[in-house]
Amino acid sequence: MLMLGHIAGSYEITEILQRGDLIRSSPLLVPTLLLILGGAFTKSAQFPFHFWLPHAMAAPTPVSAYLHSATMVKAGLFLMARLWPVFAPTDAWFLIVAPVGLVTMLIGAWIALFKDDLKALLAFSTVSHLGLVTMLFGIGTPLAAVAAVFHILNHATFKAALFMSAGIIDHEAGTRDIRRLGGLLTLMPITATLSLIAAASMAGIPFFNGFLSKEMMLEEAAHTAYAGITWLFPVLATVAALISAAYSFRFAISTFFGPPRDDYPHRPHDPPFGMWLPVAILIVPVAAIGVLPALMAGPIVERTALAVVGAPLPDYKLAIWHGLTPALFMSLIALAGGAILFAFYRTADQIRLAFPRPEAKRIYDAVISALVDGSRSIIEVTHNGSLPRYAGVIIAAIVAVGFVGFMDAPHEAGARATIPMSFPAAVAWIVLAAICVALLFCHRERLFASS
């Protein structure tokens, strides 16, 4: 942000947005963009910084619902949205942001599919959906930005409801482990109904709000080519949506359907009215936007999109039916494929275990460990308490500076070489050298005693 403010001549967001042409023409554009995106990607858990978010979800589920569904993790997305008018027209923005979002969407969905803890499943699902929004911002078209804004709204509603539902299940059944759950539909009908609606939205089933913004995402992906490859974004986006449907089905079916178990840690039952009421409040927009999107979400999407894209907005329509479009067929393929993947979940899990992959957290821990060990080695050499070594390092540095200056000086046959150095610098160099020599001679007993 310091570099951006330096280029724009101001740190006010409004003035930065007005000076987009100046920023885009600056030779510092790419390093500035990389630094800003590094912060935004880390904050919003984008690949390869996606591993921290699920491990940070140690708070009670209402806190996770607030922080990790709607607010804190969206801060990086908010920064990208605010600076979208400045950077979106550049090639660097598309080449960096769009693929990072797509990869995050895929990796987050794949990891979520195989998590047995309901909260962990939802956490990695959040990573995937953050990648979806990042990809839409990265595509760089105004319509994709509108779709990103719409999905931020939809994701906040159904994911917060699911987090709180997971908390209710944990409280009433005594566990969040999917392997120890099942059959809760008959034991917790109210919680199950609310959770199933939210899970249907997360899966992208029609008549729920998640379907609408996912369809807009697939529509934008269908018209996006990367490095001349026209099929890359449509195919990978559909695969990510397919896996998303699969883990949504696993959350819903494995938790609520089937015969009730007889080994729950606690005997499950619906919670008091005050516990499921917040979930019900969140489910209202999930269903209402899914059925009447223009009426229920149109004004807020328009107002928010104007803050990102600016006027005029592109032509778009929040509606259930857009005709037989490529996005509709991609949505149907994702839902059908997700159902098949869930049906063969055990086979997929065995395949996954047969091909172990490096985990980002382990790589991060290894890098940090190597950095600490390397720093310790340097400190052991340079700060070992030996005064002669300290003095020697200073003298060596002084000699090296003089030698470099001597080598860079112009040499002519038969002429005396001169070092291009100002008089004050030459005096300082001589004084420093004299001090070091005097130190060695006047305090040689203490110096060598310390060695």
> What are the tens digits of pLDDT across the range 201-225?
999 999 999 999 999 999 999 998 8
Instruction: Identify the three-state secondary structure at position 188.
Output: coil
Looking at every residue in the chain, the average pLDDT score rounds to: 85
For residue range 61-79, what is the model confidence (pLDDT) as tens digits? Answer: 666 666 666 667 788 899 9
Distance from C-alpha of 202 to C-alpha of 282, rounded to nearest angstrom = 13
pLDDT at 131: 93
Mean pLDDT over residues 254-273, rounded? 88
pLDDT at 6: 79
Token pair 């300290």 is at which residue? 390
Contact 127, 159 (CB under 8 A): no
- Among residues of the chain, what percentage have pLDDT more than 90? 42
Structure tokens at 270: 């619906």
CA-wise closest residue to 290 among 201, 165, 161, 163 = 201
Q: Give residue 89's Cα distance to chain centre.
A: 22
Is residue 407 over pLDDT 70?
no
206 vs 358, more confident: 206
Ramachandran region of residue 229, left (φ > 0), alpha (ψ -120 to 50) or beta?
beta
Q: The whole model's pTM is what?
A: 0.80
Is residue 244 over pLDDT 90?
yes
For residue range 421-443, what is the model confidence (pLDDT) as tens digits? Answer: 667 767 777 787 787 777 667 66
Q: Provide the pLDDT confidence category of residue 263 given band limits of 50, 70 and 90.
A: confident
Structure tokens at 61: 């589920």
Q: Provide the pLDDT confidence category of residue 23 given band limits of 50, 70 and 90.
A: confident
Is residue 7 over pLDDT 60?
yes
Identify the weakest region by mean pLDDT among 156-160, 185-189, 335-339, 366-370. Answer: 366-370
Is residue 253 over pLDDT 90?
yes
Structure tokens at 263: 């080994």
| Range with the largest mean pLDDT of 39-48, 53-62, 162-171, 375-384 | 162-171
Is residue 447 over pLDDT 80?
no
What are the CA-CA distances from residue 146 to residues 78, 131, 151 (Å)?
13, 16, 9
Identify the weakest region by mean pLDDT among 19-23, 193-197, 379-383. Answer: 379-383
Q: Provide the pLDDT confidence category of residue 444 given band limits of 50, 70 and 90.
A: low
Q: Give residue 343's Cα distance to chain centre.
A: 30
Mean pLDDT over residues 293-305, rounded? 91
Is residue 57 over pLDDT 70?
no
100 vs 374, more confident: 100
Q: Provide the pLDDT confidence category of residue 59 given band limits of 50, 70 and 90.
A: low
pLDDT at 12: 87
Is residue 198 over pLDDT 70?
yes
Mean pLDDT over residues 408-421, rounded? 57
Q: Please give the backbone phi and psi of residue 117, each rounded to the nearest 5 degrees, phi first.
A: -80, 125
pLDDT at 9: 83
Distance from C-alpha of 377 to C-alpha of 370, rounded to nearest angstrom = 10
pLDDT at 161: 92
Mean pLDDT over residues 100-108, rounded? 94
For residue range 137-175, what is the model confidence (pLDDT) as tens digits? Answer: 999 899 999 999 999 999 999 999 999 999 899 989 888
Q: Which residues contact 442 (CB under 8 A, 6 or more apart)?
A: none
